[in-house]
Amino acid sequence: MQASLFEIKGNKIRCTACARYCLLSNGQTGFCGVRTAANGVLNLDVYNFPYAFNIDPIEKKPVLHMFPGTRILSFGTAGCNFACKYCQNFDMSQRKEVTGSYTTPEAIIKMARKNKVDGIAFTYNEPTIFMEFARDVGVLAHKYGLFNIFVTNGYETPESMEMASEFLDAMTIDFKGNGEEKFYNKYISVMSANLIYRTIKNAIDYGIHTEITDLVIPEIGDNLEAAAIMVEKIRDIAGEYIPVSFLRYHPDYKLNIPSTPFETLKNHYDLARSMGMKYVYLGNVQEESYENTYCPNCGNLLISRKIFDSKIIGLDKNGNCTKCGFSTGIKIK
């Protein structure tokens, strides 16, 4: 399937889907492994070839401030524009070949409706690399009243964000290792995390509901000074009410460092709170008080969570605190 996100540069093709901007000769495939230059155009090799499907609670993405308690159909494809050495989906993301079951956008939406889910999540690998496929699924999803979510590493381009704005309702933008440049260089094969802040701004400017996660990896990606810089940049772009979740890392793929200690995660939580962030969470933990949502104005319990199970406690249908009337910004379905 011919892609849309590319431009011709002399006798080469420049892919504009992600910030790598791969410049490709005829027959050459980009870093992601699924976008190939051929006869003067760029092909999306995994169009109609999703690799895995699951039905998940929306909280698993995690999306915590939009439609709590809803269910989504999640899928991804082979390939990725990152090379994370700890990737838990490495069998998909680091597979640089077309694989999966032939499934059209129409068939995906039929599957979603049959399972009576509320939305679609493009996840498991980086959805930006199959943006045109995601767009066609997402536009069709809207026709049937389904919402769309990207779980993304934030390495989009302005060109791909413009396309995403046609169908995306929400993005979970995932930092790794507090956004430290040396971490991205060594463990992800990316020069810098700085372009991710551009994606946050673009998402907000397009009116896409945006939440942030940061995977905190002990010993190599848990520096609090780096975390403070990251939080400050996020706050300056998106304000103090954007949800920020610090996630526990578990060893996988090529990285065998032990899981993140709870105390390390709590230090990050306390840091973000001390910097004025109103909605801070810890993920992949079982300490409920760090998963729950409380009113920033009066402290009322708004949403209780236990792992991926949410219960709306103190919100009215408009997302206002039932105790003090504060407008929380949480979207209720």
Read off the tokens for 301.
């319990």
CB-based contacts of 190, cutoff 8 Å, min separation 6 = 82, 155, 184
pTM for this structure? 0.97
Residues 33 and 199: their CA atoms lie apart, in Å, by 22
Residue carrying structure tokens 């068939």 = 107
Residue carrying structure tokens 């976008």 = 35
Q: What's the confidence (pLDDT) of residue 114?
A: 98
Output DSSP code: residue 2: B
| Cα end-to-end span (Å), the chain | 35
- C-alpha separations of 138 from 1, 166, 302 in Å: 17, 8, 30
Residues 16 and 19: their CA atoms lie apart, in Å, by 7
CATH classification code of 52-291: 3.20.20.70
pLDDT in tens, 61-89: 999 999 999 999 999 999 999 999 999 99
Question: Residues of 256-272 as b/e, b for ≥16 C-beta within 10 angstroms?
Answer: eeeebeeebbebbbebb
Amino acid letter, 221: G
Which residues, given as ranges, of the chain have pLDDT below 70? none
Amino acid letter, 251: P
Q: What residues pair up with 281 in beta bridges, in sequence order?
A: 245
Q: What's the confidence (pLDDT) of residue 96?
A: 79
The full set of domain ranges for the chain reads 6-44, 52-291
Q: What's the confidence (pLDDT) of residue 241?
A: 98
CB-based contacts of 204, cutoff 8 Å, min separation 6 = 210, 237, 238
Q: What's the confidence (pLDDT) of residue 307?
A: 85
Q: What's the confidence (pLDDT) of residue 288?
A: 77
